[in-house]
Amino acid sequence: MTYYSLNHNAPKVSFREAVVNGLAPDKGLYFPSEIKRLPTTFFEKIEDLDPVTIAFEAIKQFVGDDIPENDLKEIVREVLSFDFPVKEVEEGIHVLELYHGPTLAFKDVGARFMARCLGYFNKNKETQEKVTVLVATSGDTGGAVANGFYEVGGVEVVILYPSGKVSEIQEKQLTTLGKNISAIEVDGTFDDCQAMVKKAFLDSEFEGKRTLTSANSINVARWLPQMFYYFFAYRKLKSEGKKVVFSVPSGNFGNICAGMMAQKLGLPVHHFVTGTNANKIVPDYLKTGEYLTQPSVATISNAMDVGAPSNFVRIQQIYNNDLEVLRSQLTGYSYSDDETREALQHLYQNHNYIADPHGAIGYLALKEYLKDDKESVGVFLETAHPVKFLDVIPKNIVDEIQLPDVVKSLLPKEKKAEKISTYQELKSWLLTN
């Protein structure tokens, strides 16, 4: 398997090179040169397959010969060490809970997969080359990456996060580990953090001093494994005999893009729905045909506070840059903080379900779409544990949330983070630490 840059001005690379490089030299995101559909028989018997087999079959073509099949299967087995429950919330609507991993967020899958791939590449080198994983987070990425890469040999992790724009628990997850994990608190927004990361990748002064790569969903090893749980949800719901619609709360659009790749492999997904907060670049694009990025707006669903979704270019590629084809497969809605709070209350009071703000938006978007589609069964993604958002979830619901043990152990720990405001400060820190 080879990967090419979506800016079309860089050499093709192997899976290993795409993972280590993160971003192509021409600033483009890597995309697989070929996508082979899985055989129809795979989906006909999917309910008889275990999760490790399903995930292995989904990912192996994208890894190619860079990791032997036995090692790749073991990596997948280690990644999938927790559950992905699908629960019925109300008639025709299910929730896919993706927060049962070590950092209580959907990003655990991609972070753990990428960490193990990098660990494998380093393990098999005669002289271990230090790699610095430089990553921006709007909330959950940082904690998942910190946990996934903690004490991985030959890998240092530097996480940039926007000051005051992540929850207390999210901040603790990425600032308290130490060892090979460093946190940098940026005076700005997530978009500022992401811009600094991209600028560093393309800065020639790091050559020979630090090998930089990304663990954001721009990295193929972070992005592609997110396909797994779409397969798992379909496996669970196949027996209902209805078309399946996935509603994905979206910020950087890596998660929903992975679902679309699963569809490209043949997964029978009838339609995708994206729910966003005030950062509604993609829903607006689907309505107007104009793709206009904007400065991000802070909301209570902070992980989706993204004004320039970097993965959307991959979605466009999946659908051959044809807006009408994309519209036939994707519907977008946006919601205010007040509407999000109302959905949290509705889910709790009417269905005894405690959601986080991102899942609540996924639920709202799914309900809106299904008004005109009575033939499908819907699944909205609950992407993070509600405990991460105690400061914004209504108090009557907060009182019912039990603190997981992993959170209880975090709270007494001391935050350690470097504070910066500019790219030059980041560059200086990377060159001197």
Q: Which residues are catalytic?
A: 107
Gyration radius (Cα) of the chain, Å: 20
How far is residue 135's CA from residue 227's CA, in Å, rounded to a whole number? 21
**10 Å Cβ neighbour count for 196?**
23
How far is residue 171's CA from residue 415's CA, in Å, rounded to a whole number? 8
* The two three-digit tokens of residue 253, written as one number: 């659009």
Residue of 128, 117, 309, 289 lying closest to 215 (CA atoms): 117
Read out DSSP for 170-226? HHHHHHS--TTEEEEEESS-HHHHHHHHHHHHT-GGGTTT-EEE--STTSHHHHGGG
Longest dimension (CA), the chain: 60
* The two three-digit tokens of residue 354, written as one number: 């405690």
Residue of 45, 116, 42, 41 lying closest to 78 (CA atoms): 116
- The DSSP H or E segment spanning 247 is strand 243-249
> In three state form, how does the secondary structure of 92-154 look?
CEEEEECCCCCCCECHHHHHHHHHHHHHHHHHCCCCCCCEEEEEECCCHHHHHHHHHHCCCCC
Q: What angle do CA 41, 45, 46 make, to 5 degrees?
A: 110
